């Protein structure tokens, strides 16, 4: 009988323990910093190449032109951080605009219509969240069903574009807020900015916000830590539904009309903006501020194409496509390093 001699082998693999405790710099800011850098480079490239690009109105108009996308992207950010996805937002916009225009046309008071459509959007989101949580349905499928449902309702109400002649809506649409001399903006942009700020606050400073991160990080652990996982999941879809409905309202204010084919593919733009803004599709990581940057990148590409004048609008999509690839690879590299 022999005792196995393991001395040389043990020496070879003396564990270098302290190395495992070395603090690594926080990698979660890298994607957002990359987006910020990209945005600044794009902006100053524009300033250097085009006349009038440096005027404040260019930046202010970015918010005006992308107010709807911004609001929707905020809701989407919450959903994606929990590890979910919401495909219904574009359809909810169309449902909201159609319903708003129809009801206003029928003479309903605007102060009834406004809360009503917001409530409907939230309820649809809540319903999808409940299905996702209670029946353990993939968010992709549940919100795809929501997409068909909302778009179907919109088409059922009216297939054509409905003009809005309501005085209140007209006022909101035409009201100009003067920020500085020669720099004016609209109600919709201000609303979008307020939504962004509120959402950022909620995500960073409230228990609900932190629960959103916990659920996205590890839902099983979150449950064992006693966090209200189900309530949080349902809440983010409700919030996303609310944001989409609010987006729809902003849309109807901007265009003073409602149309059932409005907002097609907008859910994909919102997801793209989130991803470019560093929100991890696997959940657990991301910031509202990042999604804001994502939307601004999106808007700035369009602005540059407009300034260039001779470029096809399709370039927006091509560039967004390339950027998405780039950022997804970046996220992969960063998360792999962190693990």
Partner 1 sequence: MGEPLSLSGTSAPAGVGGGPVLEMTGIRKVFPGVVALDGVDFRLFPGEIHALMGENGAGKSTLIKVLTGVYDIDGGEITLGGSPVRFTGPLQSQKAGVSTVYQEVNLCTNLSVAENIFIGREPRKFGRIQWGLMRKRAAELLTRLDLDLDVSATLDTYSLAIQQMVAIARAVDVSARVLILDEPTSSLDASEAEQLFKIMRRLRDEGVAILFVSHFLDQIYEVSDRLTVLRNGKLIGEYKTAELPQVQLVEKMIGKELAVLDDLEDKAQRTRTKSAGAQPILSATGLGRTGAIAPFDLTIHEGEVVGLAGLLGSGRTELARLLFGADRADSGELKIDGKDVSLRSPQSAMKHGIAFSSENRRTEGIIGELTVRENIILALQAARGWTRPIPRRKQDELVDKYIKALQIRPADPEREVRNLSGGNQQKVLLARWLITEPRLLIIDEPTRGIDVGAKAEIQKLVAELSDGGVAVLFVSAELEEVLRLSHKIEVLRDRRLVEELENTEGVDADRIMQTIASGAVQ
Binding site for partner 1 (CB under 8 A): 1-6, 8-10, 12-13, 15, 17, 20-21, 23-24, 26, 28, 205-207, 210-211, 213-214, 216-218, 220-227, 284-285, 338-339
Distance CA 174, CA 217 (A): 44
> Which lies closer to partner 1 via its Cβ, residue 33 or residue 318?
33
Do 89 and 266 form a contact (C-beta atoms < 8 A)?
Answer: yes
**Could you tell me if 202 and 208 are in contact, meaning their C-beta atoms sit under 8 angstroms apart?**
yes
Residues in the chain: 339
Query: Which residue lies nearer to partner 1 by CB, 46 or 217?
Result: 217
CB of 290 to partner 1, least distance (A): 15
- Report the greatest alpha carbon distance in the chain: 99
Minimum Å gap between C-beta 123 and partner 1 is 25
Q: Among residues 156 and 205, whose Cβ is nearest to partner 1?
A: 205
Nearer to partner 1 by Cβ, of 216 and 248: the residue is 216
User: 41: number of CA atoms within 13 Å, CB side?
Assistant: 6
Distances (CA, A) of 152 to 91, 149, 227: 9, 5, 36
CB of 1 to partner 1, least distance (A): 5
> Are residues 143 and 150 in contact, defined by beta-carbon separation less than 8 angstroms?
no
The answer to whether residues 92 and 241 touch, using CB atoms and an 8 Å cutoff, is yes
Closest to partner 1 by CB, 206 vs 264, is: 206
CB nearer partner 1, residue 182 or residue 226: 226
Q: Cα–Cα distances in Å, from 198 out to 140, 170, 206, 211, 265?
A: 27, 26, 11, 17, 26
Q: Measured between alpha carbons, how far is 323 from 224 in angstroms, rounded to an integer? A: 38
Minimum separation from the CB atom of position 26 to partner 1 (A): 7
């Amino acid at each position: 009988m022999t005792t196995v001699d393991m001395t040389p082998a043990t020496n070879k693999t003396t564990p270098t323990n302290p190395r495992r405790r070395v603090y690594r710099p926080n990698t979660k800011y890298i994607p957002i910093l990359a987006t910020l850098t990209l945005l600044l480079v794009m902006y100053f490239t524009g300033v250097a190449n085009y006349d009038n690009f440096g005027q404040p109105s260019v930046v202010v108009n970015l918010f005006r032109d992308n107010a709807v996308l911004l609001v929707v992207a905020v809701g989407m950010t919450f959903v994606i951080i929990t590890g979910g996805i919401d495909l219904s937002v574009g359809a909810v916009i169309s449902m909201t605009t159609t319903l708003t225009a129809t009801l206003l046309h029928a003479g309903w008071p605007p102060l009834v219509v406004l809360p009503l459509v917001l409530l409907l959007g939230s309820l649809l989101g809540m319903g999808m969240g409940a299905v996702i949580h209670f029946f353990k349905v993939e968010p992709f499928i549940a919100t795809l069903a929501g997409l068909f449902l909302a778009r179907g309702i919109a088409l059922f109400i009216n297939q054509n574009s409905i003009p809005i002649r309501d005085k209140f809506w007209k006022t909101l649409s035409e009201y100009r807020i003067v920020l500085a001399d020669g720099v004016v903006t609209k109600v919709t942009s201000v609303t979008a900015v307020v939504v962004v700020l509120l959402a950022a606050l909620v995500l960073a400073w409230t228990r609900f916000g932190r629960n959103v991160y916990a659920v996205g990080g590890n839902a099983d652990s979150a449950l064992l830590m006693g966090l209200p996982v189900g309530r949080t999941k349902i809440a983010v879809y409700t919030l996303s539904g609310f944001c989409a409905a609010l987006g729809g309202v902003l849309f109807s204010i901007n265009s003073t009309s409602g149309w059932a084919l409005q907002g097609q593919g907008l859910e994909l733009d919102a997801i793209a903006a989130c991803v470019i803004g560093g929100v991890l599709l696997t959940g657990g990581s991301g910031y509202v501020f990042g999604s804001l940057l994502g939307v601004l990148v999106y808007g700035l590409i369009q602005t540059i194409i407009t300034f260039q004048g001779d470029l096809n609008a399709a370039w927006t999509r091509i560039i967004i496509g390339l950027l998405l690839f780039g950022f997804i690879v970046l996220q992969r590299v960063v998360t792999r390093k962190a693990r």
